[in-house]
Amino acid sequence: MKKTMKFPKALLCAAGAILLSACSTVPSGPKIDRNYSSVAQDSRAMFLILHYTALDWEKSLKVLSSGGQVSAHYLLRDEPAISYQLVDENRRAWHAGQSFWAGNQNLNAASIGIEIVNAGYSDGPLGRSYASYPPAQMDELVLLIKDIVARHQIRPDRIIGHADIAPGRKQDPGPNFPWKRLADEGLIPWPDAEQVAPKRALLEVFPPDATWFQERLARVGYQIARSGEFDQQTKNVIATFQMKYRPADHSGVADAETAALLDVISTPGGMLMSVPGRAPEPYSWRW
């Protein structure tokens, strides 16, 4: 009588599982060849937007990291001056909100946001006052901006404030923010003072109307209606413009100095870029 070999049941089950697995193997993902790269590309980060938190360090960190409603790629502490990355630069942070600049809307998807720990403003008997920025904090900010710009090739005219993209609704980073320091560091363009002075004298005699201001402000990048009147929206945008380029007086009044600055900034050849070791060079706006 022929004897039949018997195999342990567990061994048979294991062998069967291996055979089934081999027969049903499915590729784990697409076969992607990354040996080629197109020259027609740039960073998704088109804009760098600067904010103040209007809160102290502890509250700023809590709101931006666990508040659930807002976030930023970086939080810059005041004391000590340290930059904290809260969102990866390749991901979208929720810092810009409803926003517009030079034809671009809803800038969260195309920007990197830096929140600077700063108390913002307070209203008192003598009016509104804004908190200052410690020098060490601004030193750190310059280094951070240079690092981000170098990696993403963000254009100088696209380093802007929260107020620029939402005038009237937002005021940050406020009139005490040292925009001129950024210009001196070669990060943003600045109006040519030699062109501003003669234009101011002329515009004292021939002041432009509201339509002129609205058209020039729109050319710079602001969202503004062409109402032909110095309405509240126009005053808000003028005040925002003044906070950056004439912070000593940001009342929103359309005076000759503001008109001269606006005329120079919105005219080709009117903006200069600081270049280390050389005289400032004209900056060409890409209208």
Q: Are strands 74-76 and 111-116 parallel, antiparallel or unpaired?
A: parallel
Backbone angles phi, psi at 259, to 5 degrees: -60, -40
Q: Is 151 helix (H, G, I), strand (E, B) or coil?
A: helix
Type of residue at 283: Y
User: At a CB cut-off of 8 Å and minimum separation 6, what does 217 contact?
Assistant: 224, 234, 237, 238, 241, 262
CA distances from 274 to 190, 196, 262, 268 (A): 9, 17, 20, 17
Nearest residue to 108 via CA among 75, 72, 83: 72
Q: 89, 115, 204, 229: which one is catalytic?
A: 115
Q: Is 170 helix (H, G, I), strand (E, B) or coil?
A: strand
Structure tokens at 218: 């729109």
Backbone φ/ψ region at 186: left (φ over 0), alpha (ψ -120 to 50), beta: left
115 is catalytic: yes
Q: Is 204 helix (H, G, I), strand (E, B) or coil?
A: helix
Cα separation, 238 vs 3, in Å, equals: 101
Length of the chain: 287
Nearest residue to 199 via CA among 157, 272, 241, 255: 255
Tell me which residues are annotated as active site: 115
